[in-house]
């Protein structure tokens, strides 16, 4: 199936979402020494050894070649959390990559109007085509085919990603202390937070942003889910999380280079 490429705005939004999602997923992954005692569950997602590609690079690869909408990555996080809640599934460095590609594929098939076949997604994810089919079925069975996401649930996870983005952006902030007159002319001691953004960080931010903007302002620029409009580069709000029909197009799928995740 041929796809219409995402617009530059969608590409920027997807990249920002992916970067935030990677940090969230990395925090969920349990190292070999921290896996709960007695946890011996073996699923089709387990690899014999951990793939060399990082979670961020893996997500960026999927975002580049899968041509799915940015919202699919938010839905993927919801599906992964359902897998954990319903089965007590523990994310490890041995299974996280297969869980990621499977959840994104399911999100694309459920949410997007156009998507590729599993043979193509298998090349993107670095697994055999037959295994991609098995991973999809395994994920559906473990989550009881729970792919529908309500607006309230989407809003909650969206806000969690937004909060994580805000928190991660403020970790590198510098604070400037000074004395200045207030409205009545009295000198007061104030602390200003000076932000520094990389170019790719601006995907979530309003171009008119002040360098001393507060977290509440940053939240509004990220995109509101409780009402009102979403910023031009923010994640789509829950109210706007609807299927979108893309017009037929001529561009072909991108050529995918081999990836050895099938360890």
Q: Note whether residue 255 is domain-resident.
A: no
Q: Note whether residue 249 is domain-resident.
A: no
Specify whether 121 is located in the same domain as 16: yes
pLDDT band at residue 76 under the 50/70/90 scheme: very high
Specify whether 104 is located in the same domain as 170: no
Domain final position from 120, 142, 164: 142
Q: Note whether residue 81 is domain-resident.
A: yes
Specify whether 93 is located in the same domain as 169: no
- Copy the structure tokens of residue 114: 């156009």
Query: Residue 119 belongs to a domain with what CATH number?
Result: 1.10.472.10
Specify whether 216 is located in the same domain as 112: no
Q: Note whether residue 52 is domain-resident.
A: yes
Residues 91-116, mean pLDDT to the nearest whole number? 95
Whole-number Å distance between alpha carbons of 235 and 19: 13
Decide: 13 and 221 in contact? Cβ < 8 Å: no
Q: Note whether residue 253 is domain-resident.
A: no
Nearest Cα neighbor of 91 from 105, 102, 81, 78 is 81
Whole-number Å distance between alpha carbons of 34 and 145: 30
Domain final position from 142, 169, 203: 142
Specify whether 127 is located in the same domain as 14: yes
Nearest Cα neighbor of 156 from 244, 36, 237, 248 is 237
Kindly tell me if the per-residue pLDDT of 182 is higher than 90.
no
pLDDT band at residue 161 under the 50/70/90 scheme: confident
Q: Note whether residue 117 is domain-resident.
A: yes
pLDDT band at residue 88 under the 50/70/90 scheme: confident
Whole-number Å distance between alpha carbons of 13 and 221: 13
Q: Note whether residue 251 is domain-resident.
A: no
Whole-number Å distance between alpha carbons of 224 and 144: 31
**DSSP H helices in the chain:** 8-28, 55-65, 71-87, 96-111, 118-125, 129-142, 151-170, 215-222
Tell me how many degrees the CA angle 33-37-43 measures, rounded to the nearest 5: 85
Specify whether 107 is located in the same domain as 156: no
> What is the tally of structural domains in the chain?
2
pLDDT at site 206: 35
Q: Which range marks the domain in which residue 81 is found?
A: 8-142
Specify whether 127 is located in the same domain as 201: no
The residue with tokens 């970790």 is 171
pLDDT band at residue 43 under the 50/70/90 scheme: confident
Specify whether 101 is located in the same domain as 208: no
Report helix, strand or coil for 88: coil
Specify whether 172 is located in the same domain as 98: no
Kindly tell me if the per-residue pLDDT of 201 is higher than 50.
no
Burial zone of 32 (CB within 10 Å; 0-12 exposed, 13-18 middle, 19+ buried): exposed
Report CA dihedral (67, 69, 70, 73) to the nearest 10 degrees. Answer: -80
Specify whether 15 is located in the same domain as 65: yes
Specify whether 203 is located in the same domain as 104: no
Q: How many CB atoms lie within 10 A of CB 45?
A: 24
Q: Note whether residue 227 is domain-resident.
A: yes
Specify whether 31 is located in the same domain as 124: yes
Report helix, strand or coil for 142: helix
- Copy the structure tokens of residue 226: 């409780």
pLDDT at site 40: 58
Q: Which residue has the higher pLDDT, 230 or 168?
A: 168
Domain final position from 119, 142, 165: 142
């Amino acid at each position: 199936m041929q796809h219409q490429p995402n617009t530059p705005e969608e590409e920027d939004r997807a990249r920002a979402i992916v970067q935030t999602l990677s940090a969230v997923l990395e925090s969920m992954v349990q190292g070999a020494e921290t896996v709960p005692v007695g946890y011996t569950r073996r699923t089709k997602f387990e690899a014999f050894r951990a793939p060399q590609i990082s979670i961020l690079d893996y997500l960026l690869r999927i975002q580049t070649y899968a041509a799915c909408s940015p919202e699919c990555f938010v839905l993927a996080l919801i599906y992964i959390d359902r897998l954990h809640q319903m089965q007590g599934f523990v994310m490890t460095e041995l299974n996280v990559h297969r869980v990621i590609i499977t959840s994104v594929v399911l999100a694309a098939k459920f949410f997007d109007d156009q998507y590729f076949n599993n043979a193509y997604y298998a090349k993107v994810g670095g697994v055999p085509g037959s295994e991609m089919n098995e991973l999809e079925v395994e994920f559906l069975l473990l989550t009881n085919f729970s792919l529908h996401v309500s607006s309230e649930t989407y809003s909650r996870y969206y806000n969690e990603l937004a909060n994580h983005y805000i928190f991660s952006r403020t970790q590198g902030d510098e604070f400037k202390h000074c004395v200045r007159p207030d409205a009545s002319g009295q000198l007061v001691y104030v602390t200003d937070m000076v932000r520094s953004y990389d170019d790719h960080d601006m995907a979530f931010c309003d171009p008119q942003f002040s360098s001393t903007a507060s977290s509440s302002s940053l939240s509004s620029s990220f995109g509101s889910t409780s009402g009102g409009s979403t910023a031009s580069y923010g994640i789509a709000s829950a109210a706007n999380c609807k299927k979108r029909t893309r017009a037929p197009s001529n561009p072909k799928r991108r050529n995918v280079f081999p990836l050895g995740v099938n360890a």
